[in-house]
Structure 1
Amino acid sequence: MLAEVEHWLGRRSWSAADRPLSTLLAAKQALGRAGTVSVVLPALNEEATVGAIVAAIRAELMTAVPLVDELVVLDSGSSDATAKVAEAAGARVVHRDEVLPRLPPVPGKGEVLWRSLLATSGEIVCFVDADLRDFDTAFVSGIVGPLLTEPDVQFVKAVYDRPLDGAPGQGGRVTELVARPLLNLHWPQLAGFVQPLGGEYAARRSLLEQLPFPVGYGVELGLLIDALHLAGLDALAQVDVGERHHRHQDSQALGRMAAAIYRTAQLRLARGHLVRPRLTQFERADSGGFAPRTFDVDTEERPPMTDIPEYAERRAA
């Protein structure tokens, strides 16, 4: 298995600099409809960062170089000015509740990503988190690149350093403590992915529409594992895009994330049921001692989009 991973790393790991924008634009034009690109930013209360990301993509990848055809901010019920800021910067803002209104939405990032397939039209869909700071458009062009130039590639993850408290290459605590051990033990073919839980990845619509979407934190792990089983390792790739700066979660939020990641893996191992899909954490109480707080662990998944009649009708039209 190690030899297979090393072979994959040599064939399917690149740097964003390997494909200049001129190369990507020529490949896109040659592909026609198959080369159309939609960029989706799932956003919940990201007014401080979403505008700069949208403005950079519009200026560098839509105006200067027409690589991106569609830029959508999918607002997940923000209570701040996320939608207003994103629209002012040039994005088309779509509110989660407006997409597939017959199906009541549930909270979670995966829910928004799943619904975004109905709100976009590109044959290549690129997801970018809306909390990034010092945003570099290589996060988009880098991961879209292999999908434009390598016909056999279907799913591409971004690779990057994640500084934490000034230390280079740190961060990604849930990745190192939960996701990486799970992948190495149970899906060793995926051991070569540097950032398996990263929120920046691109894929062909033809693949995404066949995958179930965990509604919460488990979406990145679930999509990666399911893409492996559906398309095979050689259809997966990763691209180094440099360094990622974003808001870090506190330890309790990371605990909830870890529980969802574990649950996602457990379902894919056995397709069974959790004994107790809840997580109890503790906080110091004002009166002294520790007070328990219990959270539900995400246990719902959305079906492949091809199972949704509205999506089939839209694609047929």
Structure 2
Amino acid sequence: MDTDLRALAKVREWYGPHSSTAAEWPLDSLLLAKGATTVSVVLPARNEELTVGDIVTVIRRDLVERTPLVDEIIVVDSNSTDATAERAAAAGARVVAQEAVLSHLPPLTGKGEALWKGLAASTGDLVVFVDSDLRNFGAHFVSGLLGPLLLDKDIQFVKGAYERPLTGDDGVMLRDGGGRVTELVARPLLNMFWPELAGFVQPLGGEYAGRRQVLEQVPFVTEYGVEFGLLVDLLDLAGLDAMSQVDLGVRAHSHQSLAALGQMSGQIMLTAWSRLERQGRARVAEPPVSTLLQFGIGGKAGVVDVSVAERPPLASLAVGVDVEEDVA
């Protein structure tokens, strides 16, 4: 009980000084603080032709042309079969094919792979990650995340916080209906094993930023375990006081099916287990099973693989970063 109370007290102590809103970081203050610091925005994208172009357009217009805060916009095309690459390039992004970055390495799959490749392909001192399926994107999604990094040298990593409504098939919006995997899986795991991280409102959110020198020192889990793994690993590396969160308002995006959410949950649980093992907090004779038996309508069963792989810290690679070609 004493341990629980100490952890709760630590979260309360951290939450106030390390939580802010995007409005607290005006563009003129950020530009003044930017100086010679370079900023990259990385968007992982797989079949996001309906939204990626609009997101890139807003970043280019508001944060490159009107206020020169962002130095490069990179879209990592994760084997899209639609016009994602073309839309992103037309809007002004540098588009790189996921498998063209560090192409000498055996390819892996999933969101974490795209993020790791995006970090490798980018050059900025500060790197901002933004999901490509946002339907209500505003420039504050980027500028808000940059605020603590540009104005506080002790902050190494910033996570976006927001309200995530869920719009049902009937068109009715539930203000607290989004983030189902967060509330049912990620938050309980964090509270049980890493209670210092319990103050993060959206631990699985796809909008966050960090200093390159820190991001290059942690591994990236592939698939949908990446955000969970980054939080835990950055806590170990930099400590809670080097981490911050910024309220970005409301985040509207596409939603996954229940089956897809189950698979995502499995990947997050395996990621959590790998961290517990690495920290010497869990030992079993046999590794966890990485297959998931799911049942659909009518009881139809299917088995899916929810295993996750892991890319090592970029700083550990002895080779330089190569990008064979951009996607036109």
Report the TM-score range of the alignment, normalised by the length of the smaller protein. Answer: over 0.9
Q: How far did 1:145 drift?
A: 1.0
Name the CA distance, whole Å, in 1 between partners of 2:20 and 2:67: 22
- Note if contact 1:133-1:246 (Cα within 8 Å) is conserved in structure 2: yes
The equivalent of 2:259 in structure 1 is 252
Q: Residue in 1 aligned with 2:209?
A: 202
2:246 equivalent to 1:233:
no
Give the letter for the 1:283 counterpart. G
Superposition TM-score, scaled by structure 1 size: 0.94
Structure 1 unaligned spans of 5+: none
Q: Which residue of 1 aligns with 2:188?
A: 181
**2:117: which partner in 1?**
115
**d(CA) in 2 for partners of 1:135, 1:250:** 22
Structure 1 ranges of 4+ moved more than 4 A: none
> By how many angstroms is 1:313 displaced?
9.7
Task: Give the aligned CA root-mean-square deviation in angstroms.
Answer: 1.4
Work out whether residues 120 and 321 of structure 2, in 8 Å CA contact, stay in contact via their aligned partners in 1: no
Deviation at 1:104, TM superposition (A): 2.4
Whether 1:299 and 2:305 are equivalent positions in the alignment is no
1:105, 1:145 → 2: CA distance? 35
Provide the TM-score with structure 2 as the length reference. 0.91
Aligned residue runs from structure 1 range 136-285, under 5 A: 136-165=138-167, 166-271=173-278, 274-284=287-297
Contact 1:110–1:213 (Cα < 8 Å) also in 2: yes
Q: 1:186 to 1:283 in 2, by over 3 A?
A: same
Shift of 1:276: 1.1
Contact 2:49 2:87 in 1 (8 A): yes
Counterpart in the other structure of 1:74: 76
Q: Please state if 1:9 is matched with 2:27.
A: no
Higher deviation after alignment, 218-227 or 158-167: 158-167
- Residue 310 of structure 1 aligns to a residue whose secondary structure is coil
Conserved? CA contact 1:215–1:298, under 8 Å: no
How far residue 312 of structure 1 moved from its aligned partner, in angstroms, is 7.5
Moved more, 53-62 or 295-304: 295-304
Partner letter of residue 101 of structure 2? V
Comparing 297-306 with 180-189, greater Cα deviation is found at 297-306
CA deviation digits over 1:100-137, x for unaligned, max 9? 11112121000011111221100101000000002111
Deviation at 1:262, TM superposition (A): 0.5
Please give the alpha-carbon distance, in whole angstroms, between the structure 2 residues aligned to 1:192 and 1:96: 33
Q: Distance in 2 between matches of 1:300 and 1:58?
A: 34
Q: Give per-residue Cα distances to partners, 1:279-302, cap 9 Å, x unaligned.
A: 111123xxxx42221111123111
Deviation per CA, 1:15-53, whole angstroms, max 9, x where unpaired?
A: 111111000000001xx2xx2110000000000000000
Q: Distance in 2 between matches of 1:202 and 1:243?
A: 18
Q: Contact 2:162–2:249 (CA<8 Å) still a contact in 1?
A: yes
Give distance in 1, aligned partners of 2:259 and 2:321.
Answer: 40
Task: Specify whether residues 108 and 74 from structure 1 end up closer, same or farther in structure 2 by C-alpha distance, changes over 3 A only.
Answer: same
Tell whether the 8 Å contact from 2:75 to 2:118 is kept in structure 1 after alignment: no
- Determine if contact 1:75/1:82 at 8 Å carries over to the other structure: yes
Distance 2:188 2:320 in 1: 36
198-207 vs 161-170, greater mean Cα deviation:
161-170
Quote the Cα distance in structure 2 between the aligned partners of 1:136 and 1:313.
32
CA contact (8 A) 2:101 2:322 kept: no
Q: For the residues of structure 2 that align with 1:3 and 1:312, how far apart are their CA atoms?
A: 43
Higher relative contact order structure (alpha carbons within 8 Å, sequence separation ≥ 6): 2
Q: Which residue of 1 aligns with 2:46?
A: 44
| Contact 1:118 1:311 (8 Å CA) reproduced | no
SS in 2 for 1:217: helix
Deviation at residue 147 of structure 1 after TM alignment: 0.6
Q: Secondary structure at the match of 2:17?
A: helix
* One-letter amino acid matched to 1:266: W
